[in-house]
């Protein structure tokens, strides 16, 4: 038989709550955990002091309380209430419903009604209710021994809690200072504060760096950043502000101080990566695109489809490499086989990286053994993967679901019209994102033109594959009109500057596309690009843009075509996130906490990794940031968090 032990802390809070509102109905929830046969009630969260029904506000309060409890590694274990009239000790129907809701999650839930007659006596003033077996009716607990006496299943952790409660109220008026959820809702200035503080599980103090928009790099020195139990950012503000001070005064979790030579930065987004090609990263780069696809890409993809164990090894390693490189979200091309793509999705979910996984669709191929047998079977297979991928994460709470399926026609030359049409419809029906390659190489563009008498972009557009949910890789051969169409359709570009050198042999008109408003992020294009590191993509994007700008200058044209390192950092973080429809990539309340901690120096004159400093440094200046951008590497990355969860990166300091 289960017994119940009530801590002094919990008893005092219930007592104060009732004492503060003697003529109003008050209620709240009990927090604790079950240890063997004892339910230990450690704390309470006071909710309301005027209620008649199960209001939306009570629902919100319950939800927040549940989150808070979980963050503290406790559960909601019960409910308490006091009635309007002190002599009314009935558990109200609303209370019964709340208690029952709690019981759905915690089978040994209990409810207490405050016994007004005993409030001033020094005896325990709580009347326990338990549910009747096999019903949802709650009744006072009638047992041999009265509650809170020897032999009872209800015990006070400290026997003198009732006397102490009376003294604290009478002699010290402590109940006056006691607030509940209602109080805060009445006080509009602090209500959001309460909503927030109740759920905060992680707090940082130090320098934050992010790029909220193109051309804007903010170094937020000495800031507070709070993360809630679901991994969302609750609050960002200067440590010295009134709001920050109030938060810090109310939360009782340890604050993580970011040292002066380190900063938090949003994680990187990689908008284009062929997961199976990681198998042969950095080889075969001497061939032109179509030949390379045949000799390297298709072959390796097929081998992974045929060997699930190999697929798993490659995908797990890929996920680890991405994590270590600070990539928090990645848009992936997979293979044609559903199973292998589910292995890919699972690897990303397990390591903890946000991944948009595209099962490849292709019913035309130069490799007879690596092609889908018909448009119909390809579409069916795509649908099967979408369902399978969603299934894979259905058991997680929504905010913990890190992978999602993406419709992925490989590129126009490998897809029949029938297939493209079917995929367009499937994308609409299932509400999923779309990715493909667009105008990557001269030979591919010419191929499409000669086969279909149309440009890539028209083919995609015809079949509703150019939408606000689309990301197209490369786009190097798009002219200004076509880029305007991309902007008009809100389709994004995955800019892969390194791969462009090899397989487009042409720079992407990045500045023009940005100026037209095309959403753009960076991609590594493993293995068309050999580097998995988005920092490399950033550096390459700037270098290429500067050469383009040099040509522009010599020709005397007006507007700069260059981007600088800050622009590149935007593309790598917020730009990429926006293109993927994700709300990460920036430090603001409501965004998921997807971040990396970058360490530039430990001692003020000694850099970390490739960085050298010969003069004492102070804080995070634009100068040291630029240096890191230029030559920093994995060795500077000490932590990474996705949706508030910390992942162990390779160069993480040892945890305490």
Could you list the residues that contact its own copies (CB under 8 A)? 278-279, 281-286, 310, 313-314, 317, 321, 442, 498, 500-502, 504-507, 530-532, 540, 542-544, 546-547, 549-551, 553-554, 564-565, 612, 614, 623, 626-631, 633
Residue 247 or 628: which CB sits closer to its own copies? 628
- C-alpha 287/C-alpha 194 separation (Å) is 61
Residue 633 beta carbon to its own copies: minimum distance, rounded to whole angstroms: 8
Q: 524 vs 643, which CB is nearer to its own copies?
A: 524
Complex with its own copies: residue 225 or 532, whichever CB lies closer:
532
* Nearer to its own copies (CB atom), residue 50 or residue 553: 553
Q: To the nearest whole angstrom, how small is the minimum distance from the Cβ of residue 257 to its own copies? A: 27
246/626 with CB nearer its own copies? 626
DSSP letter at 149 equals: S
Widest CA span of the chain, in angstroms?
98
Q: How far is the CB of 454 from its own copies (least distance, A)?
A: 20
Nearest approach, Cβ of 348 to its own copies (angstroms)? 17
**Strands lying side by side in the sheet with 327-333:** 268-274, 327-333, 354-361, 403-409, 433-438, 470-474, 492-495, 520-522
DSSP 62-93: HHHHHHHHHHTT-EEEEEEEE-SSTT-----H
Which C-beta is closer to its own copies: that of 247 or that of 278? 278
Match 């309060």 to its residue by tokens. Answer: 61
Give the residue with the Cβ less far from its own copies, 256 or 281: 281
Q: Least distance to its own copies from the beta carbon of 478, Å?
A: 15
**Could you give the dihedral angle defined by the CA atoms of residues 34, 39, 44 and 46, in that order, rounded to the nearest 10 degrees?**
110
Q: Of 327 and 504, which has the nearer Cβ to its own copies? A: 504
Nearer residue to its own copies within complex by CB, 159 or 547: 547
Cβ 547 to its own copies shortest distance, Å: 5
The β-bridge partners of 392 are none
Answer for the pair 128, 4: CB distance below 8 angstroms, yes or no.
yes
Minimum CB distance to its own copies, residue 617 (Å): 12
- In the complex with its own copies, the residue whose CB is nearer, 189 or 555, is 555
Count Cβ neighbours within 10 Å for each residue of 336-360 and write b for 16 or more, e otherwise.
bbbebbbbbbbbbbebbbbbbbbbb
Closest CA to 547 of 510, 516, 504: 510
Q: Select from 245, 120, 243, 114 the least CA-distant residue to 190.
A: 243
- Give min distance, CB of 504 to its own copies, in A: 7
Shortest CB 551 distance to its own copies, Å? 7
CB of 157: closest distance to its own copies in angstroms? 54
Residue 71 CA to residue 41 CA, distance in Å, equals 16
> 514 phi and psi, to 5 degrees?
-65, -45
Task: Report, in this order, helix, strand and coil percent for the chain, each rounded to 5.
Answer: 40, 25, 35
Least Å from the CB of residue 508 to its own copies:
11
Q: Which residue has the tokens 């809690």?
A: 161
> Judged by CB, which is closer to its own copies: 216, or 551?
551
Count of CB atoms situated within 10 Å of the CB of 131: 19
**List of residues 6+ apart from 436 with CB closer than 8 A:** 408, 409, 410, 411, 412, 460, 465, 470, 472, 473
Tokens of 291: 């030949």
């Amino acid at each position: 038989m289960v017994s119940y032990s009530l801590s002094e802390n919990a008893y005092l809070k219930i007592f104060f709550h009732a004492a503060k509102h003697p003529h109003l109905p008050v209620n709240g929830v009990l927090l604790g955990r079950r240890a063997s046969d004892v339910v230990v009630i450690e704390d309470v969260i006071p909710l309301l002091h005027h209620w008649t029904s199960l209001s939306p506000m009570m629902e919100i309060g319950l939800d927040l309380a549940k989150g808070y409890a979980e963050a503290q590694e406790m559960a909601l274990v019960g409910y308490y209430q006091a009635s309007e009239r002190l002599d009314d000790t009935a558990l109200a129907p609303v209370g019964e419903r709340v208690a029952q809701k709690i019981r759905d999650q915690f089978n040994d839930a209990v409810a207490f009604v405050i016994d007004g007659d005993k409030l001033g006596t020094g005896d325990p003033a709580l009347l326990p209710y338990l549910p009747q077996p096999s019903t949802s009716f709650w009744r006072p607990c009638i047992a041999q021994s009265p509650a809170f006496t020897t032999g009872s299943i209800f015990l006070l952790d400290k026997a003198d809690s009732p006397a102490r409660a009376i003294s604290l109220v009478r002699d010290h008026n402590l109940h006056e200072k006691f607030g509940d959820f209602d109080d805060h809702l009445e006080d509009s200035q602090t209500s959001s504060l309460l909503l927030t503080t109740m759920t905060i599980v992680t707090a940082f103090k130090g320098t934050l760096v992010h790029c909220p928009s193109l051309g804007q790099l903010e170094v937020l020195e000495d800031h507070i950043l709070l993360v809630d139990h679901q991994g969302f950012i609750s609050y960002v503000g200067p440590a010295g502000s009134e709001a920050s001070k109030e938060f810090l005064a109310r939360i009782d979790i340890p604050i993580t101080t970011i040292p002066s030579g380190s900063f938090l930065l949003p994680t990187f987004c990689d908008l284009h990566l062929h997961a199976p090609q990681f198998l042969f990263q950095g080889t075969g780069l001497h061939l032109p695109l179509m030949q390379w696809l045949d000799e390297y890409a298709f072959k390796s993809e097929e081998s992974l489809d045929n060997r699930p164990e190999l697929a798993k090894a490659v995908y797990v390693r890929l996920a680890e490499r991405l994590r270590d490189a600070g990539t928090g979200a990645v848009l992936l091309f997979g293979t044609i086989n559903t199973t292998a793509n589910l292995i890919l999705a699972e690897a990303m979910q397990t390591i903890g990286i946000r991944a948009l996984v595209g099962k490849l669709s292709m019913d035309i191929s130069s490799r007879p053994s690596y092609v889908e047998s018909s448009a119909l079977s390809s579409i069916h297979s795509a649908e099967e993967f979408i369902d399978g991928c969603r299934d894979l994460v259905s058991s997680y709470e929504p905010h913990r679901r890190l992978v999602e399926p993406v419709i992925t026609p490989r590129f126009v030359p490998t897809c029949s019209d029938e297939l493209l049409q079917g995929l367009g419809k499937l994308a609409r029906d299932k509400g999923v994102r779309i990715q493909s390659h667009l105008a990557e190489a001269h030979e591919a563009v010419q191929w499409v033109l000669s086969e279909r008498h149309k440009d890539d972009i028209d083919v995609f557009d015809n079949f509703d594959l150019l939408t606000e949910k689309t990301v197209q890789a490369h786009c190097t051969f798009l002219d200004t009109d076509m880029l305007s169409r991309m902007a008009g359709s809100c389709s994004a570009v995955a800019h892969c500057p390194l791969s462009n050198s090899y397989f487009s042999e042409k720079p992407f008109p990045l500045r023009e596309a940005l100026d037209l408003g095309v959403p753009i992020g960076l991609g590594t294009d493993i293995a068309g690009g050999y580097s998995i590191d988005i920092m490399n993509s950033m550096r390459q994007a700037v270098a290429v843009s500067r050469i383009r700008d040099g040509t522009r200058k010599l020709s005397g044209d007006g507007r700069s075509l260059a981007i600088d390192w800050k622009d590149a950092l935007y593309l790598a973080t917020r730009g990429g996130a926006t293109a993927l429809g994700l709300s990460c990539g920036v430090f603001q309340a409501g965004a998921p906490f997807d971040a990396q901690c970058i360490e530039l120096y430990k001692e003020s004159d000694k850099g970390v990794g490739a960085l050298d400093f010969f003069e004492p440094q102070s804080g995070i200046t634009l100068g040291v940031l630029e240096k890191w951008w230029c030559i920093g590497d994995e060795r500077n990355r000490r932590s990474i968090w996705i949706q508030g969860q910390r992942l162990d990166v390779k160069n993480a300091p040892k945890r305490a």
